[in-house]
Chains A and B, each alone.
Chain A
Amino acid sequence: MNVISRVARFYIDGFRQMTLGRTLWAVIAVKLIIIFAVLKVFFFPNFIKEHAPSGHEADYVASELEKRLSDNE
């Protein structure tokens, strides 16, 4: 058996023999789905990408900072 198949067998056997690990993996899977498929997609967009034209992000941030200053005056 070559190294790759031995490593694969190591992981497959490990996963098969899990007891508590099954519950933990289930929790991890649910959590990752919530984090990446729900929170990231629907609630946490990249704000600058959404508001600044591509390649003009620096201009957008600069104008934002200038506006904050002018609000102070």
Chain B
Amino acid sequence: MTLLNIDATAIDWARAQFALTAMYHWLFVPLTLGLGLIMSIMETCYYRTGSTFWRAAAQFWQRLFGVNFAMGVATGIILEFEFGTNWSNYSWFVGDIFGAPLAIEGIVAFFMESTFVAVMYFGWDKVSRRFHLASTWLTWIGASLSAWWILVANAWMQHPVGCTFNAATMRNEMTSFFDVALSPVAVDKFLHTVISSWVIGAAFVVAVAAWYLLKNRQQERQLAIKSMHIGAIVGLVAAIGAAITGDESAYKVAQVQPMKLAAMEALYDGGEDVGLTAVAWVSPFEQPDYAAGGEAPLRLAVPNGLSILATRSLHGYVPGINDILRGYTRADGTVEPSAAEKMERGRTAIEALAAYRKNPTATPPAALTDNIKYLGYGFIKDEAELVPYVPVNFWAFRIMVGLGSLFILFFACVLFIEWRTKQSGSFPRWLLCAAIVLLPCAYVCSECGWLVAEFGRQPWTIQDMLPVSASVSDIGSSAVALTFWLFLVLFTLMLVVEISIMLKQIKKPHPELAGA
């Protein structure tokens, strides 16, 4: 299949490359956010008690934070390179919207993190305890604020607000910074993403502590016991918080990206009183025949669950894939046009845009302004393109929710056993092994969340405005394929380096913890 002179595989390679880079970047960011919180809590314990143990404990976790921080630095920059090379149409189209958040992110990340990270590492015994503690917390706050602006940019792509399309410049221009920065989708995305990152930080701390206890390392025993305690508390609170914010995120998805929700649920035909699918058989290897209607085989559902999740009403109407393609009426009475009508109106908008650019008038023609909302649909050839790949959405969502629930159970279990054994560190061996096994699961859970967010919005780079087929540069697939493999090798190498430095730091003796 070719699109213009573009080999369709150029789109696939560009998407694969972006996914690879983003997923790799996301291995570091959540640990920075999660471990940053826990090390700050530990230093707060030092500040409050003056105990040398807490000082050594905070320094221990800060060292591991530093390894992760150093490995993650600048991995996100590569995404911006890819925008400019592989996704140039998209990059031009959104430039004015992304400029402000990304500039703020750069400034905040550079000044706040770099200033306070330096004080955190170099400032022991050189600045007051209070100032040092403030620097540690501000390092974490700076990292979280950086995440805010990146997530604002991502949220805008999922739900473009606070902007207007300028046909003369071919760019979206920001009309309200606050609408963009405080969009409800951005707020939910930030809360869910950051809080779920704390789960990864907690899982990491508990896993390292469990390893010390399994190995019966006496020097690190007190560190392990206290870290299990703090890690499990943070983990339990965060896992519950992630469930609550995840529910709110799903509600927002139902409002602004109903096709994504339908794909997550493999909901072919919608209706009222729709159940939330607990399990069903959706083949991971092929797009299901949603057009035939019915429901996925072996489906077990929580009665009315999806209606409550999507509409906050027991009997609420939830559209399925076929309803969205055919057109349906929303709960507020507005009629959502069929895919065919949107595609027709999109083509009208693009033709009007072309005519306007050839003969510019004082104001853009009505054919453009009336149909601009559907501009992106004009690039869609077949309405099947509007349906995201259901298996990835369906399974990634279930893995995320399943593992998230498992973490609530696990951290509760750690705290219960800890309470029963009076914080003696006498954890059963199976629990310590589980703590180590669950660490990679925390990453899988988090990456699955991103899979749902990004696969679910296909074919759009910007929801309803610009599909991937129009966003991609007219670039040869071999060039993108080459850099894809280059990145794969580079990223794997860097990951191996990080893990080996991290393991070396964990495994080496820590006499300072024993003597504290």
Give residues in A with beta carbon < 8 Å to B.
10-11, 13-15, 17, 20-21, 23-25, 27-28, 31-32, 34-35, 39-40, 43-48, 51, 57-59, 61-62, 64-69, 71-72
Contact = CB atoms under 8 A, between A and B. Distances in A.
Contacts of A72: 378-381
A69 B67 contact: no
Nearest to B3: A71
Given A20-B66, A32-B74, A13 B84 contact: no
A59 B123 CA distance: 54
A18 B357 CA distance: 59
A67 B473 CA distance: 12
Interface residues of B, number: 54
Contacts of A40: 81
23 contacts: A10-B126, A17-B122, A20-B63, A21-B66, A24-B70, A31-B494, A43-B479, A44-B82, A44-B483, A46-B88, A47-B88, A48-B88, A57-B92, A58-B92, A58-B168, A59-B357, A61-B93, A62-B357, A66-B350, A66-B354, A68-B4, A68-B379, A68-B470
B103 interface: no
Nearest to B501: A23
A11 B353 contact: no
B73 A31 contact: yes
A27 B357 CA distance: 49
Interface of B: 3-4, 63, 66-67, 70-71, 73-74, 77-78, 81-82, 84-86, 88-89, 91-93, 118, 121-123, 126, 168-171, 347, 350-351, 353-354, 357, 378-381, 469-470, 473-475, 479, 482-483, 486, 490, 494, 497, 501, 505
The 7 closest A-B pairs by CB, nearest first: A14-B122, A47-B88, A44-B81, A24-B70, A58-B170, A47-B473, A44-B85
Contact of B78 (A23, A28, A39, A48): A39
B118 A69 contact: no
A48 B483 CA distance: 19
A27 B497 contact: yes
Contacts of B71: 27
A28 B379 contact: no
A64 B474 contact: yes
Contacts of A31: 73-74, 494
Contacts, number: 119
A61 B346 CA distance: 17
Contacts of B475: 47
B350 A65 contact: yes
Contacts of B494: 27, 31
Given A39-B78, A57-B92, A69-B350, A20 B67 contact: yes
B505 A39 contact: no
A61 B170 contact: yes
Contacts of A27: 70-71, 494, 497, 501
A39 B63 contact: no
Given A24-B67, A47-B84, 12 more contacts: A10-B118, A10-B122, A17-B122, A20-B501, A27-B71, A61-B170, A64-B89, A64-B470, A64-B474, A68-B379, A69-B351, A69-B379
B469 A68 contact: yes
Contacts of A59: 357
Contacts of B380: 72
A58 B98 CA distance: 17
A69 B473 contact: no
Given A47-B88, A61-B89, A69-B379, A28 B70 contact: yes
A43 B81 CA distance: 9
